[in-house]
Structure 1
Amino acid sequence: MSLRGLLVTISMKIRARDSLTRYPLLATGYVSHMTLPNQITLGRILLIPIFVLLAVYYGHSVEAGEPEEKLRIAAIIVFLVAALSDGVDGWLARHFRLQSRLGAILDPIADKGLMLTAIITLSVSNWDRSLPLWFPVLVITRDIIILTGCALLRFLNGSLEIRPSSLGKISTFFQMFAIAVVLLQWRYYSIIVGIAGIVTLLSGIGYIIDGVRLLKLGGHDRPTSGDVMGNG
């Protein structure tokens, strides 16, 4: 190798090392996971605060007695785009085999973040027709119970395969439906909200029953030998 070639090689290595120092994500390989589906998922996450601002400012306009319907329509459009993007990124990932670990993490965060944010925002904003406060409390409590149960089962059993139940999917549908009818300010929205609340409660009970069953299958409902000796 000539001296010039050696100097060029050394210069390239220095630049590469400097790039890794400035941009540590390059060293971890996360940039390679930034596929089109993941970019769409990130876009959905970025739409969440925009939806919140539009919904809150519309509530302020309602409270002031001068509802700005353009804000509500904009909030509907943003929420609709975010919701539809969930199907788009999933289809692209499956169709073009662009699944990644980053996408597996970001997608449920974006989905649940959009859902919970919309439910909370539409329950505390001053819309003429808004979600009752018990609704986000019920949804969040159910999710906390599910997450706690999953963590406990994973700790005790070492592994856990999570599959949404049919009732869980139905509750998700009615939660989205409840958000939609509130955004549209439908006169009979309380009927849909009530149904969504009942289905959410039943799905939570169903997950608890499934969790108890898995604990029994793992033998964690029986006393340990130390407990038996201690009780004796």
Structure 2
Amino acid sequence: MNKPPRAGADPLATPPARQVSVVNIANAVTVVRLILVPVFIVFLFQDGGGWRIAALAVFAVASLTDRLDGELARRRGLVTDFGKIADPIADKALIGGALIGLSLLYELPWWVTIVILVREIGITLVRFIVIRYGVIPASYGGKVKTALQVVAIGLFIAPGIPGVVRWAAMGAAVAVTVVTGLDYLVRAWRLSRGS
């Protein structure tokens, strides 16, 4: 026999949404990536091949956590406002730190670093501007761009890689970075016009 609803209770009321704690495994992985950035930079600026291998290892681990925290957050329902803010900051810090470090060491021309960072920072600003019209989902090109950047930077960090291999990867990374940036601007413009 069904019990009658309590006095004053709304039988149509939906249960409150589950509160997700900021202290969770997905955010912990993001924080680890943030912590690894200065460790990577310190290793990068040390002399000797052993330090370069160590810097490459830290960069690789930090890059892998970029996919891991997002997967954990989505699969386990651990998406938080902190994660939404900290994740892109950690990504930009890792890629930006690597590019600036390599340029300061005169191993990568500054124009490459500037082109990539202007695109990354610019698109982040555009994303904030058009958020009132809607969210532009990440494209497949954006994922390819990130993968190419990581591979190209890794090849510049690793000792003994032929210059032609490094530049082939970096050239592809820069080209896809620019093209996907332009594509994002077009989609942002269409979104704002459609609204």
TM-score, length of structure 1 as denominator length: 0.67
Correspondences of 1:1-232 after superposition (within 5 Å): 32-57=21-46, 61=47, 68-126=48-106, 130-154=107-131, 158-185=132-159, 186-187=161-162, 188=164, 189-218=166-195
- Report the CA distance between 1:196 and its aligned residue: 1.1
Distance 1:201 1:91, change over 3 A: closer
Distance 1:207 1:121, change over 3 A: same
Which protein shows a greater Rg? 1
Cα pair 2:133 2:192 within 8 Å, conserved: no
Aligned counterparts of 2:81 and 2:184: Cα–Cα separation in 1: 26
Aligned counterparts of 1:85 and 1:151: Cα–Cα separation in 2: 24
Cα pair 2:40 2:55 within 8 Å, conserved: yes
- Report the CA distance between 1:41 and its aligned residue: 1.4
Task: Give the 3-state SS of the residue equivalent to 1:33 in structure 2.
Answer: coil
**Which piece of structure 1 moves more, 141-150 or 182-191?**
141-150
- The list of structure 1 runs, each at least 4 consecutive aligned residues, that deviate by more than 4 angstroms after superposition, is none
Task: Give the 3-state SS of the residue equivalent to 1:131 in structure 2.
Answer: coil
Aligned counterparts of 2:66 and 2:127: Cα–Cα separation in 1: 24
Aligned counterparts of 1:153 and 1:96: Cα–Cα separation in 2: 29
In structure 2, stretches of 5+ residues that fail to align are 1-19
Aligned counterparts of 2:176 and 2:137: Cα–Cα separation in 1: 18
**Fraction of identical pairs, as percent:** 34
Aligned counterparts of 1:202 and 1:142: Cα–Cα separation in 2: 10
- Report the CA distance between 1:32 and its aligned residue: 4.0
Relative contact order: is structure 1 or structure 2 higher (C-alpha 8 Å, sep ≥ 6)? 2
In structure 1, stretches of 5+ residues that fail to align are 1-30, 62-67, 219-232
Aligned counterparts of 2:136 and 2:105: Cα–Cα separation in 1: 34
- Report the CA distance between 1:137 and its aligned residue: 0.5
Cα pair 2:92 2:120 within 8 Å, conserved: no
Aligned counterparts of 1:175 and 1:212: Cα–Cα separation in 2: 26
Structure 1, residues 98-155: CA drift from partner, whole Å, max 9, x if none? 33222222222212221211122122224xxx3221111111111233133233323x
Aligned counterparts of 2:157 and 2:134: Cα–Cα separation in 1: 37
Aligned counterparts of 1:212 and 1:93: Cα–Cα separation in 2: 30
Aligned counterparts of 1:94 and 1:211: Cα–Cα separation in 2: 25
Equivalent residue pairs, number: 173
TM-score, length of structure 2 as denominator length: 0.79
Distance 1:82 1:144, change over 3 A: closer
Aligned counterparts of 1:212 and 1:40: Cα–Cα separation in 2: 34
**Higher helix fraction (1 or 2):** 1
Distance 1:149 1:91, change over 3 A: closer
RMSD of equivalent CA atoms: 2.1
- Report the CA distance between 1:46 and its aligned residue: 0.6
Structure 1, residues 55-87: CA drift from partner, whole Å, max 9, x if none? 112xxx3xxxxxx11110110111122122223
